[in-house]
Structure 1
Amino acid sequence: MRVTVLAGGVGGARFVRGLRAALEGSDAEITVVINTGDDLWLSGVRLQPDIDSILYALAGVNDTERGWGRAGETERVSAELREWGSGWPWFTLGDLDLGTHLARTGWLREGLTYSQIAGRLGSRWPIGVRLLPMTDTEVDTQVVVEDGARMHFQEWWTRHRATLPARAFENPGIEAAVPAPGVVEAITAADVVVLAPSNPVVSIGPILTVPGIREALAEATRVVGISPIVGGKVVRGMADACLTAIGVETSAVAVARHYGRRADGGVLDTWLVAQEDADLAPALAADGWDVRVGPLWMSDLEHSAALARAAITL
């Protein structure tokens, strides 16, 4: 069985861990196409937060309490950078995490692409999953706020905690980007493609915006989406602020319609909603949706595996 997941952030990392556990012992092939819109240059090094979060989670070296970065982290280098007035004082890089960024930056200077680097990073630990960036082009997410000012997504998200009302999310240069090598093939050759319960706007959104990826999804065997909304609330983070900015209600129904059915030119065949939102399912079913109801909380690996198993056996 071949499974391809479109993912980003902590929700994506938890789902992919669960998927690997659900398929353990089988001959399944798992490929994860990861959002790179969160990427940035900081203090001369290249950061890829979503790729690293998924890599660390699969390797079992992630900080489960904070939800990001490495376990057992120290922050001496960040403290020294602040003394020099370098970087962002509100954006802390752990020392172990910084080692990843330095390795990545060095490989970039040697001429490697982001997809080649993802392969190198994934080979350090036996993660059992192929990691692919959505594109090898740098298409960092910019946020346009109410006064028309622009800032990197990480500044809006981490420094301002998404409290500045946003008017738009943009990825300059993405119209000229192409899917990273292997991405289109991973989508079209998969037995099932899963849209992880990641932020629909800034995690899944940039992936779907890369030219060629929506076209690949149109040729996929089956596309299943998992709602990131449970009981009318986001599971983690501030995705509700992102949805509000693009005029989408924070509800399982609204997010489904935002993605759209493949039969209507969208990207989904099946939409999995939480038990807490079971009363919303008939509204989608009346519009022709194949909507299923199940437990979506990924509180531990067992629950994440159960969710993944449900998604791929629909």
Structure 2
Amino acid sequence: MLAVCGGVGGAKLAFGLQEEVGAALTVMVNTGDDFTHLGLAISPDIDTVLYTLGGLADPVRGWGRAGETWQFMTALRQLGGEDWFQLGDLDLAMHVERTRRLAGGERLSAVTADTARRLALAARVLPMSDEPVRTTVETSQGRLAFQHYFVRERCMPSVLGLRFEGAERARILPELADLLADDALCAVIICPSNPYLSIDPILALPGMREALARCAAPVVAVSPLIGGQAVKGPTAKIMGELGLAAGSAAIARHYAGLVDGLVVDTADAADADRVLAFGLSCMVAPTLMKGPQERVALARQCLAFAHELDAKRRAERPEETQPWSRSWTEQDSGPSCP
């Protein structure tokens, strides 16, 4: 199965999915946030996913490594270096090694996959593309590189629009294109990452929307909003600045024609009919993931929803059931995708 995600929120659900299906999980990660800082190749969303799935993430911040120290940043600050982007001493090793290997000619996907193996992850973690795509934000203060907007300016400027520079020249990672074309793919879960900052850069890749629309598996998205507010990050703020009402209906409209179903939080149960109006099936479930148990519980709900949508599709189009080799295993915890 395939999970599509950005950083903190998406990584939490990816963790739950890994607990449920193990090595059957591939995680496609946004790289629009990537940038070069202090001469180092930084991939924030990839690193958050790797640390989270490997049990290394800081549980308080949600990003970076647990048990981090900051002597490098202290020394850098004393020297007058740029200190707006925090690089912990443990985290620094990831960036230095990635930079070295990329400079030696390795692909980002190969470096990421090997790092996942070294961190003993069960799931396969891959960037959306080996070609660079860079998110830039049109703001009330002018055009800003994503990390300048997100970290340096702390999301304070008003957002007027978003650009994904390089997307038109980038290619979907071949391994991911093959997976999306595989009739054995049993589910695609778009994790509760920011649809505009984390998922749209992935969808901007030429052919990505078409590949998702054509794939044999049901596609399920999880809303990142609870009661019209984001658990973490500027999703609701950006929606308001782009003239969108922050709620399940706007998320459903954004994903309409791309996904089969949307999972919304129990606080937004009243929005289910509005989701249905956009042609999407809707599941209401607790989506706040405070710890590992909630992550696994939501993963099970998403898999159960995908199973339900798959069964519905096969009942409506029985002629398509024969070529499909996906299988679902009923367990005490609910349906799971092998």
**Same-fold status (TM-score > 0.5):** yes
- Work out whether residues 186 and 218 of structure 2, in 8 Å CA contact, stay in contact via their aligned partners in 1: yes
SS in 1 for 2:118: coil
Are residues 1:129 and 2:123 paired?
yes
Q: Which moved more, 1:106-115 or 1:176-185?
A: 176-185
C-alpha separation in 2, matches of 1:11 and 1:299:
11
Equivalent-residue separation in structure 2 for 1:40 and 1:286 (angstroms): 39
1:5-154 matches, within 5 Å, as 5-23=3-21, 29-86=24-81, 88-147=82-141, 149-154=142-147
1:289 aligns to 2:280 (yes or no)? yes
Distance (whole Å) between structure 2 residues aligned to residue 236 and residue 188 of structure 1 = 33
Q: Over alpha carbons, which structure has the higher Rg?
A: 2
1:256 is matched with: 252
Q: Verify the 8 A CA contact 1:5 1:194 in the aligned structure 2.
A: yes
Q: Is the 8 A contact 1:7 1:198 kept in 2?
A: yes
8 Å Cα contact 1:234-1:250 kept in structure 2? no
Distance between the aligned counterparts of 2:18 and 2:146, measured in 1?
30
- Residues in 2 aligned to 1:287 and 1:57: alpha-carbon distance in whole angstroms: 33
Identity %: 38
Secondary structure at 2:271's aligned position in 1?
helix
2:177 matched residue in structure 1:
184
Question: What is the match of residue 263 of structure 1?
Answer: none
Equivalenced residue count is 302
Matched, 1:267 2:258: yes
Q: Does the C-alpha gap of structure 1 residues 34 and 287 become closer, same or farther in structure 2, counting only changes over 3 Å?
A: closer
**SS of match in other structure, 1:292:** strand
Q: Is the CA contact 2:138–2:144 (under 8 Å) kept in the aligned structure 1? A: yes
Q: Which runs of 5+ in 2 are unaligned?
A: 306-338
120-129 or 104-113, which deviates more: 120-129
CA contact (8 A) 1:135 1:177 kept: yes
Shift, 1:259, TM fit: 1.3
Equivalent residue of 2:195, what SS? Answer: coil
2:131 counterpart of 1:155: no
Aligned counterparts of 1:111 and 1:300: Cα–Cα separation in 2: 39
Q: In structure 2, do the counterparts of structure 1 residues 183 and 248 end up closer, same or farther at CA, with 3 Å as the change threshold?
A: farther
| Aligned equivalents of 2:252, 2:206: Cα separation in 1 | 21
Give 1:66 deviation, angstroms.
Answer: 1.3
CA distance in 2 between counterparts of 1:192 and 1:229 reads 22
Calculate the aligned-residue CA RMSD, in Å: 1.4
Stretches (4+) displaced over 6 A: none
Distance (Å, rounded) in 2 between the aligned partners of 1:145 and 1:115 = 31
1:134–1:179 Cα contact (<8 Å) kept? yes
Question: How far off its partner does 1:310 sit?
Answer: 1.0
* Whole-angstrom distance in 2 between the partners of 1:230 and 1:267: 22
Retained in 2: the 8 A contact 1:249–1:255? no
Q: Indicate the SS of the match to 1:46.
A: strand
C-alpha displacement of 1:187: 2.4
Please name the residue that 2:326 is paired with.
Answer: none
Task: Give 1:79 shift.
Answer: 2.1
Letter aligned with residue 137 of structure 1: E
> Match of 1:290, as an amino acid?
S
Tell whether the 8 Å contact from 2:13 to 2:191 is kept in structure 1 after alignment: yes
Structure 1 position 193 matched with structure 2 position 188: yes
Return the offset for 1:287: 4.2
* Match in the other structure for 2:165: 172
Instruction: Report the secondary structure of 1:141's partner residue.
Output: strand
Q: What is the alpha-carbon distance in structure 2 between the residues aligned to residue 65 and residue 173 of structure 1?
A: 34
- Contact 1:253 1:284 (8 Å CA) reproduced: yes
SS at match of 2:63: coil
Aligned-partner residue type, residue 60 of structure 1: G
Residue 6 of structure 1 aligns to a residue whose secondary structure is strand
Choose from 236, 239, 242 the match for 1:243. Answer: 239
C-alpha distance after superposition, 1:270-290 (max 9, x if no partner): 111111111111122244321
In 1, Cα distance between equivalents of 2:207 and 2:242: 23
Residues 20 and 300 in structure 2, CA contact (< 8 A), matched pair in contact too: yes
Output the CA distance in 2 between the equivalents of 1:275 and 1:61: 30
Which string of whole-angstrom CA distances, capped at 9 and with x for unpartnered residues, describes residues 193-243 of structure 1?
010000111111101111121111011121001111111111211112222
- Please give the alpha-carbon distance, in whole angstroms, between the structure 2 residues aligned to 1:118 and 1:240: 31
